[in-house]
Structure 1
Amino acid sequence: MKLAIRFSYFGDRFFGSQMQPGLRTVEGEFIAACRRLGLFEDWREAGFVTAGRTDRGVHARCQVCSFFTEKPDRAIRSLNRVLPEDIWCTAWAGVPDRFHPRYSAMSRTYRYFFFPVPGNVALMHEAAGEFVGRHDFSAFARAGGRDPERNVLSARVFENGPFAVFEVTGVSFLWNMVRGMATALERVGRGEADVGDIARLLAEPPGRRLPAAPPEGLVLWDISYGIPFTPLPIDEKSRRYRADRRHRYYTLMAEVSALLAPEEELHD
């Protein structure tokens, strides 16, 4: 049977998602868990593949892998028990043999979280609209010899608690493309660039590309396949890990808020 697994992870303790000898990676940990459960012996023969790579420090709310196994029930029942705490499966689906996590995807959605909010969110949202449509993204990404044109289906910027969030959906993305777009939007928010600057970069790409925003703010948010996935319960160790990270996050936010408070408030 060919099984598709949707899973999440925090990327800061991995050297990226792609398997690399001698380094801790998302694929490496996932394949090790599958072998430990006897789901397959050789990941190549099992056709193990993910929907795409994420760089070191990038997180995923919705990554997808698929592989052939003779023990799908064991995979569904036990993967979350043997995966490390910073990876957890969220859903599964039985898929046709021709299914491929990368090439079968109809669209991908990323979110980039800015903290603190970099100025004018409304202007950032207006600027994000320039990305929609088919454009040459050479100024924002590493094309690496690939076609630099990509089709962006939607893009917006909105506030969510202490964050400004850039959400973008497209058919496919180039390496560092979303982080390059985030850099441009942050400059717009700070008043260092305007909407017209983004339009010009898309129309007339310069010889030098924009630097990528830090990877820690980027989350692979969703991948659409048009097929139903059955939800899986999160394992207790991952639940505790997420709760601990949430606690540490709110502690950090409190400390940052105190540091950013006006001087007169600090003396009250």
Structure 2
Amino acid sequence: MNLAFRFSYFGDRFFGSQMQPDLPTVEGEFIGACRHLGLFEDWREACFATAGRTDRGVHARCQVCSFLTDKPELAIEALNRVLPADIWCTGWAEAPEGFHPRYSAVSRTYRYYFVAPGDVAAMHEAAQEFVGRHDFSAFARAGDRNPERRILASRVLIDGRFAVFEVTGESFLWNMVRCMATALGRVGRGEAEATEIARLLAGPAEQRVAAAPPEGLILWDIDYGIPFTPLSIDARSSRYLDDRHRYHVLMAEVSAHLTSDLR
């Protein structure tokens, strides 16, 4: 059976998602868990693939992989027990014929979190410049790939103490969302206006916008037009999430006190 799994991870300790020799990666951990359970021996023969790569330090709320196995029940029941605490499956589906987690995606959504955003209304207005089909040479490392991409939706919203850039597109280039985030951050700080983004999208790229730090980026969602059956998070991952939440609440309180003392 060709199984598809939707899964999440924190990217802090991984050298990106793609397998690399002698380095911890998301794919390496997932394939190791599958082999430990005897779901397959050779990941190539099992046609293991993910929806796409994320860089070192980037997180995922919704990454998707698929692979062939003759033990689907074991995979569904046990994978969350053997995956490390910072990776957990949230759903599964029997992949339809011809399914590929990368090429079958209808759209992808990313979120970039800003700690100190500035003028959120101006950022949201500027984010509308990205909607539609544009040449993103100035906002990505395109290499020999077609630099044109279609953005379906783009907005900046408030989420607690963060401003969040949320963007949905048919596909993305390497570092594209992080470069877009840099441009919006400059707008929020009053260093640029929406017209600067429009100018960069309109003509050949003389210089590429620098990518924002990877820690703020989350692969938020991938739409395939198929339903996934929800999976319960493992107790180890649940404790891991609770510990991270407590830590960040504490750090936010410390930061608030330090800021207050400096005023």
Q: Tell me the SS of whatever aligns to 1:11.
A: coil
In the other structure, the counterpart of 2:65 is: 65
Matches within 5 A, 1:231-246: 231-246=230-245
CA–CA distance in 1 between the matches of 2:36 and 2:70? 14
Instruction: Report Cα offsets for 1:12-38 as digits up to 9, x if no partner.
Output: 110000000000000000000000000
After TM superposition, the score normalised by the length of structure 1 is: 0.97
In the other structure, the counterpart of 1:82 is: 82
Matches within 5 A, 1:148-167: 148-167=147-166
In the other structure, the counterpart of 1:48 is: 48
**Farther off after superposition, 124-133 or 248-257:** 248-257
Instruction: Report Cα offsets for 1:162-217 as digits up to 9, x if no partner.
Output: 10000000000000000000000000000000010000010024321010000000
What residue identity is the alignment partner of 2:172? F
CA–CA distance in 1 between the matches of 2:80 and 2:250? 28
CA–CA distance in 2 between the matches of 1:121 and 1:113? 12
In the other structure, the counterpart of 1:2 is: 2
CA–CA distance in 1 between the matches of 2:135 and 2:258? 41
CA–CA distance in 2 between the matches of 1:177 and 1:258? 35
What residue identity is the alignment partner of 2:252? M
Say whether the 8 Å CA contact 1:137–1:205 is kept in structure 2: no
Query: Are residues 1:214 and 2:217 paired?
Result: no
Q: CA deviation at 1:262?
A: 6.3
CA–CA distance in 1 between the matches of 2:113 and 2:204? 25
Matches within 5 A, 1:66-145: 66-116=66-116, 118-145=117-144
CA–CA distance in 2 between the matches of 1:151 and 1:22? 37
Say whether the 8 Å CA contact 1:80–1:89 is kept in structure 2: yes
Unaligned runs of 5+ in 1: none
What residue identity is the alignment partner of 1:139? A
CA–CA distance in 2 between the matches of 1:263 and 1:3? 54
C-alpha RMSD of matched pairs (Å)? 0.8
After TM superposition, the score normalised by the length of structure 2 is: 0.99
Q: CA deviation at 1:263?
A: 4.3
Equivalent residues, number: 263
Q: Tell me the SS of whatever aligns to 1:213.
A: coil
Q: CA deviation at 1:97?
A: 3.4
CA–CA distance in 1 between the matches of 2:45 and 2:260? 57
In the other structure, the counterpart of 2:146 is: 147
Percent identity between the aligned chains? 71
